[in-house]
A and B are shown apart, each in its own frame.
Chain A
Amino acid sequence: MAIASAGLSKSLRRRWRFSEKLIESFILLNGLLAIIVLLGVLFLLLREGLPAFAYTSPWQFFFGTRWYPVSEPPTFGILSFFMATLWVTLIATAIAVPLGVGCAAYLAEVAPASVRETVKPIVELLAGIPSIVMGLIGLLLLSPLVQGLFNLNTGLCGLTAAIMLAMMSLPIIVTVSEDALRAVPKEFREASYALGATQWETVWHVCLPGALSGIAAAIMLGVGRAIGETMTVLMVAGGALAVPYAPTQPMMPMTAAIASGIGNAVRGGPQYQALFAIALLLFLMTFAVNLVADRVLERQKRKFAR
């Protein structure tokens, strides 16, 4: 008995499972990959982008209106790009929010199941259309329309780009808003009906306010999408270098500036570095927007969590 149990207790001692430990470390490494890549992106943008400020003061860079990358000495003012991004994003958001939230409210609160089952795949379809195809639509179909409608010299302008961007940010706005509306507890609706409210009054006074932070997050995610979208604005925004004062002017948002400039930039040269600096700004902007959206979304989730 004593001998047998001594043998047993020995066999229960911890084994050194080398391959198991190896695999676990490897899995941990992969778990950290998201952080590594994100830091890698940031590091590279800093390394390649910050030297640009040796040629241009930050003030000149952010508020300068002249972008002359090949003149001697080069001038890198990105105000016109920044303003273009601002115009395009603001107008796209202004168009997409009422449509997206309206569509989400309809799907979550009003639509019969059959309609919802039809509309949801279409929204997913929209999310799946590549941005280059949306750019093509803007270029060949929408811009002549806009040109004629507003009697412009060219239909390739901020407005056309904004309309296409609005379409492209719709799927995320609709999906996230609908989820937020669905998360509002049924009891709230029932309480509202029990007080004699109509369905619309319930949607307007109970459901939408209840889902407000989720909808806000949806909008922010849509904004993030619009800020970062490249191909569409490259193709349809017009590409003019002047600071835009009206949405109907041709303009060059930041993403388009990078995409159109990088091919000609001498690697490691001033223009190359300035483009990386724009990318850095872009990265920080979308980072901030996404972070805030996540915080807001988290708060929304907690609100009805029990």
Chain B
Amino acid sequence: MAALTISRRELTQRTAFSLLVLATAIVTVPVLFIIIYIVVNGAGALSWEFLTQAPSQAGKAGGIFPAIVGTFYLMLGTIIFSLPVGVLAGIYLTEYARANWLTRLINMAILNLAGVPSIVYGLFGLGLFVLAMKFGMSLLAASLTLACQALAMTITTSREAVIAVPREYREGSLAIGTTKWQTIRHVILPQALPGVITGAILAMSRAAGETAPILVVGAAFILPGLPTSPFDQFMALPYHLYTAAAHVPGMSKVTIWGIALVLLVVVLSFNSLAVFIRIRVRQRRFGS
């Protein structure tokens, strides 16, 4: 009887664990499948011409060069507008803020900022940057919109990076009569830099993949040339992919998967770079 009970419990455990493994497999296998599928089906489209030429015949021929450039401009614009303010906000929260209602309010705001749907940011950007500030459907308006969306991320990652700087460094600097800002500028920030950069890269990778906001604030499907000023319209990979896949009849599947592959490579390589830096920093900090 005792043996029987134990074997029944053992059976329950085995069944349960098998289900957990199954769940894990269902979570992970499709991811690998998607990546491999896109690589296999998109690789055929990749060519020097595809990467370096402007599209022609409604995107059915030619390349996606302006979209690649536009996406890099967007990433750059996003980070220019969101990183400095994000870092300063992170510094405020770690070095200046007291544990009071205002700080709680700020933290709550950051949290909710991260949860605002991307399309809502799009409408915000349309109303504020495109129309009210009269930037028009432009690279500038799109960068500012994506920067607002990235803000929560740059603040949180900067805050984590600044918190991780050991207290001893702060004390050592303050104890020889430096001001708080001097300590931040010359001791804390250099130490927090790798973490800040990691966050920046993640924010850029996120910006590269965003579609909904730029759909609202002014990405163009086909443009003859590259944008020459921040007030120009622009092409971007995700929007190009969306239009090619959903709105151009007779678009070749290979081209579509090719665009997806390029986008994926941009986004994931930035992600891996961030992970790489994070691991390096961790090794350095706990290594010696």
Q: Touch between A and B in complex, CB under 8 Å?
A: yes
Report the minimal beta-carbon distance from B209 to chain A, rounded to whole angstroms: 3
Q: Are A228 and B216 in contact (CB under 8 A)?
A: no
Complex Cα distance A167/B116, Å? 19
Which residues of the other chain, A, contact B181 by a CB distance below 8 angstroms? Answer: 19-20, 23-24
* Cβ–Cβ < 8 Å partners of B9 in chain A: 198, 201
Within 8 A of B (CB), among A178-211: 198-201, 203-204
Known contacts A99-B23, A105-B20, A170-B27, A200 near B12 by CB under 8 Å = yes
Residue B152 is within 8 A (CB to CB) of chain A in the complex? yes
- 8 Å CB interface, B214-228 against A: 215-216
Check if B148 is an interface residue, CB within 8 A of chain A: yes
Which of B31, B126, B210 has the largest count of A CB atoms less than 10 A from its CB?
Answer: B31
Q: Is the CB of B123 within 8 A of A290?
A: no
Residue-wise interface mask of A (261-272) relative to B, using a CB-CB cutoff of 8 A (1 in contact, 0 not): 011000100000
Interface status of B80 (Cβ within 8 A of chain A): no
B58 at the interface (CB under 8 A from A): no
Partner of B23, one of A103, A199, A283: A103
B151 to chain A, nearest CB (A): 6
The answer to whether B40 has its CB under 8 Å from any CB of chain A is no
- Using a CB-CB cutoff of 8 Å, which residues 62-105 of chain B contact chain A? 85, 88-89, 91-93, 96-97, 105
Q: Is B179 an interface residue (CB 8 A)?
A: yes
In the bound assembly, the distance between CA atoms of A201 and B216 in angstroms comes to 51
Report whether A100 and B27 are in contact in the complex, using a CB–CB cutoff of 8 Å. Answer: yes
Given A102-B23, A129-B34, A231-B211, A41 and B245 contact (CB-CB distance below 8 Å): no
User: How far is A175 from B112 in the complex, measured between Cα atoms in Å?
Assistant: 19
B93 CB to nearest chain A CB (Å):
6
Per-residue contact bits, chain B 116-159, to A (CB 8 Å; 1 contact, 0 not): 11111111101110010000000000000000100110010000
The digit string for B240-267, where 1 denotes a CB below 8 A from any CB of A, is: 0110011000000100100010011001
Which stretch of A32-40, A50-58, A73-81, A241-249 is in the interface? A32-40
Interface check A4, CB cutoff 8 A? no
The one of A27, A107, A133 in contact with B92, judged by C-beta atoms closer than 8 angstroms, is A27
Residue of A with least CB distance to B19 = A102
Residue pair A110, B17 in contact (C-beta under 8 Å): yes
B205 within 8 A of A: yes
Taking the closest CB of chain A, its distance from the CB of B221, in whole angstroms, is: 11
**Which of A19, A26, A122, A289 lies in contact with B88, CB distance below 8 A?**
A26
Q: Is the CB of B89 within 8 A of A31?
A: yes
CB distance from B54 to the nearest CB of A (A): 21
In the assembled complex, the Cα of A173 lies from the Cα of B209 at a distance in Å of: 21
| B-binding segment of A61-69, A134-142, A147-155 | A134-142
The chain B residue sitting closest to A121, CB to CB, is B275
Select from chain B the residue with minimum beta-carbon distance to A35: B109
Cβ B13 vs Cβ A135 within 8 A? no
Contacts of A282 in B (CB 8 A): 117, 119-120
Residues of B within 8 A of A94 (CB): none
**B74 CB → nearest A CB, Å:** 13
Contact B253 A130 (CB under 8 A): no
Is B115 a contact partner of A133 (Cβ separation < 8 A)?
no
Q: Which of A33, A122, A126, A221 has a CB less than 8 Å from the CB of B151?
A: A33
The complex places the Cα of A287 from the Cα of B127 at a distance, in Å, of 20
> In the assembly, what is the distance between CA of A227 and CA of B120, in Å?
12
Other-chain residue from A103, A135, A228 in contact with B20 (beta carbon distance below 8 A): A103
Given contacts A33-B85, A140-B253, A174-B27, is CB(A41)–CB(B215) below 8 Å?
A: no
Residues of A within 8 A of B123 (CB): 44-45, 48, 258, 262, 275-276, 279
Chain B residues lying within 8 Å of A235, measured Cβ to Cβ, are 242, 245-246
Interface pair B216/A200, CB less than 8 Å apart: no
- Complex contact A259–B246 (CB within 8 A): no
Decide: A286 and B117 in contact? CB cutoff 8 A.
yes
Q: Is B10 an interface residue (CB 8 A)?
A: yes
Complex partner residue of B13 from A41, A199, A290, CB under 8 angstroms = A199
Query: With an 8 A cutoff between CB atoms, is B38 at the interface?
Result: yes
Closest 3 CB pairs of A and B: A228-B117, A130-B209, A31-B92
List A residues at the B interface (Cβ < 8 Å): 17, 19-20, 23-24, 26-28, 30-35, 37-38, 40-41, 44-45, 47-48, 98-103, 105-107, 110-111, 119, 121-126, 128-133, 135-137, 139-141, 167, 170, 174, 198-201, 203-204, 221, 224, 227-231, 234-235, 255, 258-259, 262-263, 267, 275-276, 279, 282-283, 286-287, 289-291, 294
10 contacts between A and B (CB under 8 A): A20-B180, A34-B106, A100-B23, A130-B264, A131-B212, A133-B34, A135-B242, A170-B27, A228-B115, A294-B108
Known interface pairs A125-B35, A221-B115; 14 further A-B residue pairs with C-beta atoms within 8 A, sorted by A's residue number: A30-B88, A33-B85, A47-B127, A119-B24, A131-B211, A132-B209, A132-B263, A133-B260, A170-B27, A224-B115, A230-B117, A279-B123, A282-B119, A290-B111
